[in-house]
Amino acid sequence: MKKKSGSVQINGQNITISNMDKLLWKDKGITKLMYVEKLVGLSEYILPYSKDRLLTCICYPDGVEGKSFYRKNIPEHAPAFISTAIWNGNEYILLNDLETLVWLGNMAALEFHTSFEKEKGTGPDSLVFDLDPSSGQTFKDVAKAALIVHETLESLNIQSYVKTSGATGLQIYIYTAGKYTYDKARAINEFFAKYFCEKHPELFTIERMVQKRGNKLYFDYLQMWQGKTIICPYSSRATKSATVATPITWEELKQGAQPEDFTLENIKERLDKTGDLFLALQDPEKAVDLDFIADQV
């Protein structure tokens, strides 16, 4: 007989895991209990990037092939131990600890999207270039564009880091430790977006209307804003292959790394070998000074 539910105690909190055998990723055979166990194993990597950030979850009660819904506001039935923050009329969950992570796993929250700044911040921690493929483009096209961006940043002595979105795109981070306001950070992002569009008009576009982009890569500089979110590093994605948004090295990207290479099935083994490639994004001493651009935009 299948076990329907059970409970775990974490930091003194008793958390029920219901429908433990429900398949969340049918093609991979990943049940809810397996997902929660994987979240526990990934918690040391997820929590540093979710702590004190406004959280928007995407929940799939019946698995990735079923219906989904966005959750911004904490539900009335949530346990009292969950921390929250109110912003713009919503009471957001703060994914600050293991017990909250496990509770969210039981709620079948399969994607964790977090704000660009911590709850009490005044600007984004990092400038983020969000590169999304247009219709007819492949991930190979995205990788080509990202490597061009990386080479340009290197020539300016700007350190950058890259992660797969876990879906179809890539996200490039320039860590600034919250030095710039959202207005200034967006102006810098717009400067780079327009530069790459002018330098490589056959490859990049900032056209927001999908039907007008053609086969060009969308350089989304508008997404980085207060109240908007980005997929949290090491969050799973609701794809059939159970991909994970994963920081990678630029060399891995050059060698042909694909989003499907990094999944819930192998991410922990990878991290045991590589460690957290985004660690520098937690060290204020590693912040990049972009004043030479900020003063001009």
DSSP string, 58-109: EE-TT-TTS--EEE-BPPTTS-TT--EEEETTEEEEE--SHHHHHHHHHTTE
Which domains can be identified in the chain, with CATH numbers? Answer: 5-115 (3.90.920.10), 126-228+281-294 (3.90.920.10)
| pLDDT tens track for 31-90 | 999 999 999 999 999 999 999 999 999 999 999 999 999 999 999 999 999 999 999 999
Cα separation of 211 and 203, whole Å? 16
pTM of the prediction? 0.95
Q: Which residues of the chain have pLDDT under 70?
A: 1-3
Cβ count within 10 A of residue 54: 27
Q: Is the dihedral of CA 204, 205, 208, 210 positive or negative?
A: negative
> What is the predicted pLDDT for the residue at 214?
82
CB of 174 within 8 A of CB of 160?
yes
> What is the predicted pLDDT for the residue at 1?
34
> What is the predicted pLDDT for the residue at 6?
85
> What is the predicted pLDDT for the residue at 283?
95
Cα separation of 198 and 183, whole Å? 22
List the structure tokens of 134.
Answer: 């247009």
CB of 166 within 8 A of CB of 259?
yes
Three-state DSSP class for residue 274:
helix
> What is the predicted pLDDT for the residue at 207?
85
